[in-house]
A and B are shown apart, each in its own frame.
Chain A
Amino acid sequence: MPAFPGVDFIDFDSLLTDEEKLVRQTARQFVDEQVLPIIEACNREGRFPTELIPQIAELGFLGANLTGYGCAGMSNVEYGLVMQELERGDSGLRSFVSVQSALVMYPIYTYGSEAQKEKWLPRLQSGKAIGCFGLTEPQFGSNPGGMLTRARRKGDRYILNGEKMWITNGSVADVCLIWAKTEDDVVRGFLVERGTPGLKAWDVHGKWSLRASVTSGLAMTDCEIPAENLLPGAEGLKAALSCLTQARYGIGWGAIGAAMACYDTALRYARTRKQFANRPIASHQLVQDKLVWMITEITKAQLLALHVGRLKDRGRAHHTHISMLKMNNVWMALETARKARDILGANGIVDDYCIMRHMNNLESVYTYEGTHDIHKLVIGERITGIAAYV
């Protein structure tokens, strides 16, 4: 398989430092050499490639933009470039790294006690422990504030009851970050360890999307945990949402990777596939229209991601900036996948090519971490000053 040459129409690379390019090169080579050869089989079998975890950890991809506890201390742009390349491999792979880094390590790092950080961060960074983030419930997705899961204090313990749904890595997690309401109706985060009596996990089957990723349901029935497993700094839903902002930022970059893979595949195909008068289909205006749409949208998405990344590195990124990044880039990636599928004709529907896998994956990415429309409402509220959720 030839090395991925990148997609760069407007000399985007001239905006990157040598170090940023090196980080991307490491992630790019890893994906070309370790992920692409096995990913279609993983997708068919519906399994996450756990065998890659040690190397993912060793290269420093887990918690890459955190500092200390074995983390690499990367900038947000560097972290974003890693996400882009991982999702060029598969959204499931990027989801794994996003959940571990932004939804488990970040909250422990930001809201955890020193003991929690020392216990979990080195193990999560080295891939020796896997984490999951339990916010969504069967009845509450876009509106997590309505959650039914409860945590009742009993001496030096908390007792958790409730159900979580659509939880990435749920059944394979060594530690579950469960969001639940305490008796005073405040949302708090709790670390529930694997094997805790009363914690049950099962996998969602029959997925047509993110097949190379574990998605689970979790049930807690009088699940007792030590009180010190409460994240002391996380009070209220906004703490949970702040983690999602971190993860969404990575998704904004990741989606570019999936789009690049589809565009690159479609471009190569269109130049070699011949129909009518033995001419390549790339010679038709209608086909060029699709390819030009793709490269233009990918280029705009790159600039948006880089700008928001630079803002984030300066501490100036607002969560609505990140909403726009996620909303736009995932939509653009999904549309790119659809156009690429069209260009490949019948070949576009089989897994000899990456396109349908990316397209199906992106349907999940479009929905999770705030649906496309919810981000519209977030941005709408920001510019009009009027909340339109109900």
Chain B
Amino acid sequence: MKIAVCVKQVPAKDAPLHIAPDGTWIRETDISFEMNEPDSYALEEALRLKEKHGGEVVAISLGPERAKQTLKEALAKGADRAIHIADEEFYRLDPLAAAQALARALEPERCDLVLTGLQSDDHGFGQTGVLLAELLGLPHATIIMSIEVQDGSLRLKRELEAGWFQWIELPLPALLTIQSGINKVRYATLKGIMAAKKKEIRTIPRTELLPSLAPTQKLERIYVPEKTKKTEFLQGPPKEVAAKLLEKLKHEARVLGSS
């Protein structure tokens, strides 16, 4: 089975974030980066499927030069080779453009299975995986908590709301977006890190795959949650004020049930 895994490099979980001067991305100096958490579970799932059914795992990442670090981690953990779609301004891409670039790099690979994380810990669009499935013409399923491969098809467990799960079947090839916690992620062993030094990372500039951008959405501004203190005086006869207050408590502050 040939499996591709999309891995994104994102700021480390407790990195102290500062907004960059142009207001649409963070200042990248002084922070460290790591593999997006759901992607690390997707990678682990791919490695386990390979260990069970044989085949190849290809890790692919779209991002700036530093994203190679994440691909090297994937190779050290056991991926066979890697593709780096190089784009220093990756943060300007909307999820559709990112999916288009990934799709163009993955089309010639003709994978049996494409795995992505459920969402990324930075932008959190949760769109890239499903858009990629559409572009590759593959059926997809999201929020996957378990994968079983049975002669040519998949039996999958999806996470629903409120502790509910759903079992579904899907033909191969397919694309799945993986939920964190599906498995226990391995460490890269020192021997794995040594072995990765000899594995291939093929770099393709994003502009080669996707020369022009026709953004369907634009990031206006990112900002730290603004703390505002607003005081409003309710005026009028006590009965009216009480009714207004009740409305506000129910619908604005939402501290009272609205039934």
Whether B197 is near chain A, meaning CB under 8 Å from some CB there, is yes
Instruction: Select A72's contact among B12, B14, B190, B196, beta carbons within 8 Å.
Output: B190
Contact A26:B69 (CB < 8 A) given known A2-B14, A73-B194 = no
Most buried by A among B15, B30, B68, B194: B194
Contact A26:B30 (CB < 8 A) given known A19-B193, A73-B194 = no
Q: Is the CB of B187 within 8 A of A59?
A: yes
Whether A64 is near chain B, meaning CB under 8 Å from some CB there, is yes
Q: Is the CB of B30 within 8 A of A11?
A: yes
Q: Is the CB of A3 within 8 A of B14?
A: yes
Instruction: Select A22's contact among B15, B32, B188, B191, beta carbons within 8 Å.
Output: B188
Whether A274 is near chain B, meaning CB under 8 Å from some CB there, is no
Contact A64:B190 (CB < 8 A) given known A6-B32, A11-B30, A19-B197 = yes
Q: Is the CB of B32 within 8 A of A26?
A: no
Contact A22:B73 (CB < 8 A) given known A60-B191, A64-B190 = yes
Whether A385 is near chain B, meaning CB under 8 Å from some CB there, is no
Give the complex CA separation of A198 and B193 in angstroms: 44
Number of cross-chain contacts by CB at 8 Å: 56
Whether A272 is near chain B, meaning CB under 8 Å from some CB there, is no
Give the complex CA separation of A73 and B189 in angstroms: 12
Cβ distance B231 to chain A, nearest Cβ, rounded Å: 26
Q: Is the CB of B189 within 8 A of A18?
A: no
Contact A59:B68 (CB < 8 A) given known A2-B14, A6-B32 = no
- Size range of the interface on A? 20 to 34
Whether B53 is near chain A, meaning CB under 8 Å from some CB there, is no
Q: Is the CB of B68 within 8 A of A18?
A: yes
Give the interface of B toward A (CB within 8 A).
12-15, 30, 32, 68-69, 72-73, 76, 187-191, 193-194, 196-197
Would you list the 3 A-B pairs with minimal beta carbon distance, nearest first? A60-B190, A72-B190, A18-B69
Give the interface of A toward B (CB within 8 A).
2-3, 5-6, 11, 13, 18-19, 21-23, 25-26, 29-30, 58-61, 64, 72-74, 78, 82
Can you report 23 residue pairs joining A to B where beta carbons are below 8 Å apart?
Answer: A3-B12, A3-B13, A3-B14, A5-B12, A5-B14, A5-B15, A5-B32, A11-B30, A13-B32, A19-B193, A22-B72, A22-B73, A22-B188, A26-B193, A29-B187, A60-B189, A60-B191, A61-B190, A72-B190, A72-B191, A74-B194, A78-B190, A78-B193
